[in-house]
Amino acid sequence: MISHRSPSSPFALPSWAVCRLQSQKNPITTDQARMGFVIELAAANVEEGTGGPFGAAVFERRTGQLVAIGVNLVESTRCSHAHAEMAALANAQRTLGNFNLGADSLPQHELVTSCEPCAMCYGAIPWSGVRRVVCGARASDAEAIGFDEGAKPKQWVRELNKRGISVVRDLCRQEAVAVLQHYKATGGAIYGTSRMR
């Protein structure tokens, strides 16, 4: 067999985000505070120049223990899968050593995201094993500044519900939208094949 060095993960966090994760007071007990935290990640990702205006995190649902974070890293890692939600889910699975965050041996987990999932991240949610998704901005808010969010099923919330996943929308939406609008106002790239997210 030819030896093969594993490439680094497209979901590997930039150093500022590793620091943020390690210095964060834990747990974060309310939905509002969890959302405030991921909105700050989105804003910091823009400020630090490491990617688009999206942040996400995985928490233990009941305790609010922070398990992992993600920010948009598409440009910096040169991988179109590297959305904030995908990074947070992958990093949580790596941290816990389990591809199923809903495994019987684990407490329930939830994904908190500064913006509703695009078509890819929506599709990834059931496979990840999280049992709850909490969203800030709407997909239409990201589309309003030029991102394509893809075509989800019209009844995407119901499709997640059918798989045992509850969905909360519009939490701190105004604050989440402010990050998107600031990104656009300061000339942030709407990257991709045709202004795609």
Q: Which 70-89 positions form the footprint of a second copy (CB under 8 A)?
A: 74-75, 77-82, 86, 89
Q: Tell me the two tokens of residue 121.
A: 């991240």
Are the beta carbons of 95 and 70 closer than 8 angstroms? no
Could you say which of 37, 59, 122, 183 contacts a second copy (CB under 8 A)?
A: 122
* DSSP-derived 3-state class of residue 69: strand
Nearer to a second copy, 81 or 184 (CB): 81
Catalytic residue (one of 40, 48, 85, 149) = 85
Q: Which helix (H) or strand (E) holds 110?
A: strand 109-115
Are the beta carbons of 197 and 180 closer than 8 angstroms? no
Q: Angle at CA 69, nearest 5°, toward 8 and 77?
A: 30
Site stretch for a second copy (CB under 8 A), options 28-36, 155-163, 170-178, 181-189 = 155-163
Site stretch for a second copy (CB under 8 A), options 34-42, 64-72, 107-115, 185-193 = 185-193
HEC per residue, 119-162: HHHHHHHHHHCCCEEEEEECHHHHHHCCCECCCCCCCHHHHHHH
CB of residue 46 vs a second copy: minimum separation in angstroms?
18
Annotation marks residue 110 as catalytic = no
Binding residues for a second copy (CB under 8 A)? 1-4, 6-13, 15-16, 18-19, 22, 74-75, 77-82, 86, 89-90, 93-94, 97-100, 102-103, 118-124, 126-129, 148, 150-154, 156, 159, 162-164, 191-194, 196-197
Residues known to be catalytic: 85
